[in-house]
Amino acid sequence: MNALALACMVLGALFFLAGTVGLLRFPDVHARLHALTKADNVGLGFLLLGLALEAGSAAVAAKLFVTWCLVLLASASVSHVIARAALRRGVEPWQR
């Protein structure tokens, strides 16, 4: 069980790293938001899954799941607000 928990946490950290690389490398605010919201939400899911496996308590696992759901809602809402503000300021999505 410890190995599976560690694998989930390492996988979560790799998703966080991928989101950070996307933030630094993508050309515009919309692509950067996409990288952050997708990679960070999946990374947090794996990280909290690993923590839930280590906790050994159903109550703690339920709290971690609720935390993840709240972060998903907050992330989607904040990303929408940022993208909408960028469009209102005239920042167009990047075109090839």
- Residues 40-77 have pLDDT tens digits of 999 999 999 999 999 988 999 999 999 999 999 999 89
**Between 2-25 and 29-55, two packed helices, what is the crossing angle to 10 degrees?**
170
Q: How much is the pLDDT for 10?
A: 97
Per-residue tokens: 95: 């075109």
Which of helix, strand or coil describes residue 73? helix
Q: How much is the pLDDT for 66?
A: 96
Residue 17 lies in a domain: yes
Residue 93 lies in a domain: no
Tell me how many domains the chain contains. 1
Residue 94 lies in a domain: no
Residue 57 lies in a domain: yes
Radius of gyration of the chain (CA): 16
Contact, 48 vs 13, CB < 8 A?
Answer: no
Per-residue tokens: 56: 């050994």
Q: How much is the pLDDT for 41?
A: 93
Residue 63 lies in a domain: yes
Range of the domain at 10: 2-88
Above pLDDT 90, what percent of the chain?
67
